């Protein structure tokens, strides 16, 4: 049911610049794809309106108090259905878990539900191959592009559009030099953030301007290796910004 170009896209290696990392409870570092990235890739390969997400089941599995905090957990089952122009469908479903912790019970439940649904959605999309993270479960990483070791270089940069002050709010977590997680992008001279944590279009636009200015500076200084990583960061930022703008357009309709 898939077109040749769709099959080619699905079978292509997973770009290393799309893979995020987080620490697990046992100290291991896990690779994963962020929810917005999976949705963006589905729109690119299958087309807008050519796939559906259905929440088959969503149930609370944990609800308890820890001091002043409400701690909840949810389990979700999500079905992903992809259609072609002739109406033929391919469906896959899987389960996901999410947890939330907050002093406000409503916020805890909201966080846990969203996390469970997103987790189940990503797992269901895995059935469509490399582009949706299935290759991350292969210990030999045969379906993932090779990633060179990134060497961070401290530089003094005067960007055309400084972003430090505007991005100093609590709408996302930022990291200082030496503590940034792998996959984080630079948001100022010595601050970093995970693209997936940023949901504000204005902040994303400023970060994009900053990184483009940074790339120009690297090019002028002849820093070839730094140019490569800056270009990868710009691609991540552009994809997330495109997704945020599309979501805003849907809400405005």
Q: Which two tokens stand for residue 250?
A: 């849907």
**For residue 67, pLDDT beyond 70:** yes
Looking at the domain assignment, is residue 164 inside a domain? no
Same domain, 117 and 235: no
Residue with tokens 């701690």: 71
More confident residue, 252 or 64: 64
Predicted structure pTM score: 0.61
Looking at the domain assignment, is residue 142 inside a domain? no
**Model confidence band, residue 235 (pLDDT cutoffs 50, 70, 90):** confident
Q: What pLDDT does residue 147 have?
A: 59
User: pLDDT tens across 117-127, in order?
Assistant: 999 999 999 99
Residue with tokens 């929810």: 35
CATH number where 34 lies: 3.30.390.80
**For residue 95, pLDDT beyond 60:** yes
**Model confidence band, residue 248 (pLDDT cutoffs 50, 70, 90):** confident
Q: What pLDDT does residue 160 have?
A: 38
Domain assignment of residue 50, given as a range: 4-137
Same domain, 60 and 105: yes
Asked whether 180 and 174 are in contact (CB, 8 A), the reply is no
What are the residues whose beta carbons fall under 8 Å from the beta carbon of 125, sequence distance 6 or more?
38, 42, 80, 92, 132, 133
Looking at the domain assignment, is residue 158 inside a domain? no
What does residue 73 show for φ and ψ, rounded to 5 degrees?
Answer: -135, 145
**Model confidence band, residue 4 (pLDDT cutoffs 50, 70, 90):** confident
């Amino acid at each position: 049911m898939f077109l040749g170009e769709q099959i080619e896209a699905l079978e292509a290696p997973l770009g290393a610049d799309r893979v995020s990392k987080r620490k697990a409870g046992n100290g291991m570092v896990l690779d994963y794809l962020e929810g917005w990235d999976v949705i963006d890739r589905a729109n690119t390969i299958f087309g807008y309106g050519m796939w559906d997400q259905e929440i088959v089941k969503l149930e609370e599995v944990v609800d308890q108090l820890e001091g002043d905090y409400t701690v909840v957990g949810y389990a979700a089952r999500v079905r992903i259905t992809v259609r072609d122009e002739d109406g033929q469908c391919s469906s896959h479903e899987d389960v996901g878990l999410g947890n939330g912790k907050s002093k406000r019970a409503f916020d805890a439940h909201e966080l846990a539900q969203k996390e469970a649904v997103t987790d189940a959605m990503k797992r269901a999309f895995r059935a469509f191959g490399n582009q949706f993270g299935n290759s991350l479960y292969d210990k030999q990483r045969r379906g993932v592009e090779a990633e060179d070791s990134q060497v961070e270089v401290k530089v003094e940069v005067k960007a055309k559009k400084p972003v430090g002050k505007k991005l100093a709010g609590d709408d996302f977590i930022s990291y200082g030099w030496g503590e940034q997680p792998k996959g984080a992008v630079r948001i100022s001279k010595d601050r970093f953030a995970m693209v997936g944590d940023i949901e504000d279009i204005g902040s994303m636009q400023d970060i994009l301007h900053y990184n483009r200015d940074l790339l120009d500076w690297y090019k002028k200084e002849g820093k070839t290796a730094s140019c490569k990583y800056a270009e990868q960061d710009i691609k991540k930022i552009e994809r997330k910004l495109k997704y945020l703008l599309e979501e805003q357009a849907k809400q405005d309709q």
